[in-house]
Amino acid sequence: MTVNEIQNDIIEEFGVLTDWMDRYSLLIELGNELNDFDETYRVEQNLIEGCQSKVWLHAWMENGKIHYVADSDAIIVKGIIALLIKVLNGRTPDEILSSDLYFIDRIGLKEHLSPTRSNGLVAMVKQMRLYALAFKSIKN
Amino acid sequence: MIFPINNIRNDFPILHRKVNGKPLVYFDNGATTQKPVAVIKAMEEAVFEYNSNIHRGVHTLSNVCTEAFEKAREKVARFIGAAHTHEVIFTRGTTESINLVTSSFGEMFLNANDEIILTEMEHHSNIVPWQLLQKRKGVRLNIVPIRDDGTLDMETFDAFLCENTKLVTIAHISNVLGTVNPVNEIVEKAHQRGIPVLIDGAQAIQHLSVNVTDLDCDFYAFSGHKMYAPTGIGILYGKEKWLNRMEPYHGGGEMIKHVSFKGTTFNELPYKFEAGTPNYTAAIGLGAAIDYIESVGLVNIREYENMLFDYAISRMSEIENVTFYGTSAHRTSLISFLLNGIHPFDTGTLLDKMGIAVRTGHHCAQPLMKRLNIQGTVRASFAMYNTCEEVDALINGLVKVRQLFG
């Protein structure tokens, strides 16, 4: 599946939930399911500190594709992280760099990716792209 | 007396708007309060009817504007019981007021190894300026710890007081715990040793009747925007005996008597500390806010807010698995808490979806968060226009948050 096919799937999944409580309930569920974070990655250099919540992000390259693991202390943030990873994990640097993450807006979570929210998510997306850029230059 | 809550709410247009499709419940008053129509009207009149730069002017508008500005200063002086109007200095807010003392008082009276007493519950604005002074001049900071109930450990405070102590600086009310500190006792004890006291009144001025003469504090700092006035205006009250001896804070126009390249003489109080064109429009707004508070009556406000606070505490205790931060009998105006196992960001985000505005996070008090061993809290802080029905909405909201987390 392409980046956009996955995004469209997510939009559809959230689209059937008309009540905000159901959407956040799903987000909390996704956050709770994101439990694969290896404690050895919970280090200072992986920490993206927002004013309101913390995010840890680790990435590595395997067979030309980038893999991400991430965690947060806030569940809603973690739920959004789960979605971002679903969309961008296992992609080539070029796919990641050229991606337009429109699904966030379409499922009504745009506010969480606003710089004023200071929850670490904006910086996390930026960091995911920076990893792609770094791995791309290593490869070249 | 029956508190005229409906009339009061009608004076604050913003309270009638919806947020995320729900009626707004505004419980973030510790961060800033909403503004009544009377304050906006006063500012509108100032801008549209007599706007002109104050002082120095010979023309009519300048005189009218100067009079309105100085009238606002008189209102503040009367409101806080200052002995002299010129002891009231207009600043941008509490932060600038504290920085003014740090710079001007610090420069004049504090030297290497002098000790300053502050507390573990201070807002960053009453910590960082002193740390900067520590860097500049080598002063020492003695931090009074808190007890588990959020009150100050007064035994340690007593032990810190010594001949090297040159200043005590302390919050009147903690912005996180709601603790009302024993400022009378602190001033009395400090003064027995001739030590001046600065009080950060940012969270107190809108709730308590503050009389700086009775309190006998040397400095008292607060912001307009937390007492129904606009942003960008604040007050530093200082005793004449200190202000006269302190160097100016900023240099510029207005604060001078005579300028030459051989030497400059400074203007008298309070102008010595008000370099440049002040935010006179906001100062006039602050005057109108004081009129508004006095028209309702600070005693009535206090009584009503106490009732609201007690109601909120009793309703909050119905919710299971809540941890409260600050449990002293001497607290007021705000409740800091966590739903156990739920991050404050999550609680705040979900409450926002229900139209309820609370503050979450470290509240600019990271040393206190470290002491409490938490990342942050959820804080609901009250103002005179809040209601028991809004408290009920908060409780229902918290129950829903709990449900969402299963």
- pLDDT tens sequence across B6-46: 999 999 999 999 999 999 999 999 999 999 999 999 999 99
Single-letter amino acid code for the residue at B248: P
Inform me whether the pLDDT recorded for B393 exceeds 80.
yes
Tokens 């007493």 belong to B117
From A1, A16, A51, A138, the catalytic residue: A51
Tell me the per-residue pLDDT of A92-122, one tens digit each, with 9 for 90 and over: 999 999 999 999 889 888 777 766 666 778 8
A138 band by pLDDT with thresholds 50, 70 and 90 = confident
Q: Kindly list the distances between the CA atom of residue B208 and the CA atoms of B80, B176, B287, in Å, as whole numbers in the listed order.
A: 10, 17, 18
Diameter of chain B by CA atoms? Answer: 75
Contacts of B119 (CB under 8 A, 6+ apart): B143, B144, B145, B146, B152, B170, B171, B181
Percent with pLDDT over 70 in chain B: 100
CATH, domain range A3-139: 3.90.1010.10
- Kindly provide the b/e burial profile for residues B289-304, where b requires at least 16 CB atoms within 10 angstroms of the residue's own CB: bbbbbeebebeebbeb
Query: How far apart, in whole angstroms, are the C-alpha atoms of residue A79 and residue A98?
Result: 23
Tell me the per-residue pLDDT of B307-353, one tens digit each, with 9 for 90 and over: 999 999 999 999 989 999 999 999 999 999 999 999 999 999 999 99
Between strands B377-381 and B359-361, the pairing is antiparallel
Locate B356 and state its tokens: 């309820």
Contacts of B327 (CB under 8 A, 6+ apart): B149, B150
Contact B275, B257 (CB under 8 A): no
Size of interface A-B (CB pairs under 8 A): 40
Contact A46, A130 (CB under 8 A): no
Percent with pLDDT over 90 in chain B: 93
Query: How far apart, in whole angstroms, are the C-alpha atoms of residue B260 and residue B264?
Result: 6
Which of B215, B138, B122 is closest to B173 using CA atoms? B122
Among A28, A73, A119, beta carbon nearest to B404: A28
The whole-number pLDDT of residue B252 equals: 86
C-alpha dihedral, B56 to B59 to B60 to B65, nearest 10°: -30
Query: How far apart, in whole angstroms, are the C-alpha atoms of residue B351 and residue B358?
Result: 8
Mean pLDDT of B391-400: 97
C-beta atoms of B342 and A75 within 8 A: yes
The whole-number pLDDT of residue B258 equals: 86
Locate B99 and state its tokens: 């920085």
Contacts of B349 in chain A (CB under 8 A): 76, 112
Which sign does the torsion angle of CA B385, B396, B331, B234 carry? negative
C-beta atoms of A76 and B376 within 8 A: no
Contacts of A75 in chain B (CB under 8 A): 342-343, 346, 405
Which 3 state secondary structure label does DSSP give B165?
strand
The whole-number pLDDT of residue A140 equals: 67
Residue B314: left if φ>0, alpha if ψ -120 to 50, beta else—which one?
Answer: alpha
C-beta atoms of A24 and B376 within 8 A: no
**Arithmetic mean of pLDDT over chain B:** 96
Q: Kindly list the distances between the CA atom of residue B196 and the CA atoms of A130, B109, B130, B166, in Å, as whole numbers in the listed order.
A: 53, 11, 15, 7
* Among the ranges given (A66-80, B91-105, B247-261, B368-382), the one the predictor scored with the smallest mean pLDDT: B247-261
Chain B residue nearest residue A23, CA to CA:
B404
- The phi and psi torsions of B178 (rounded to 5 degrees) equal 75, 0
Write down the domain spans for chain A: 3-139
Which of B39, B87, B62 is closest to B286 using CA atoms? B39
Domains and CATH numbers, chain B: 5-30+297-404 (3.90.1150.10), 40-294 (3.40.640.10)
The whole-number pLDDT of residue B1 equals: 72
Contact B30, B175 (CB under 8 A): yes
Inform me whether the pLDDT recorded for B262 exceeds 90.
no
Say how many residues make up chain B. Answer: 406
Our answer to whether residue B364 is catalytic in this structure is yes
Chain A residue nearest residue B359, CA to CA:
A52
Among B20, B349, B361, beta carbon nearest to A51: B361
Contact B21, B384 (CB under 8 A): no
The whole-number pLDDT of residue B113 equals: 96
The whole-number pLDDT of residue B363 equals: 93
The whole-number pLDDT of residue A63 equals: 93
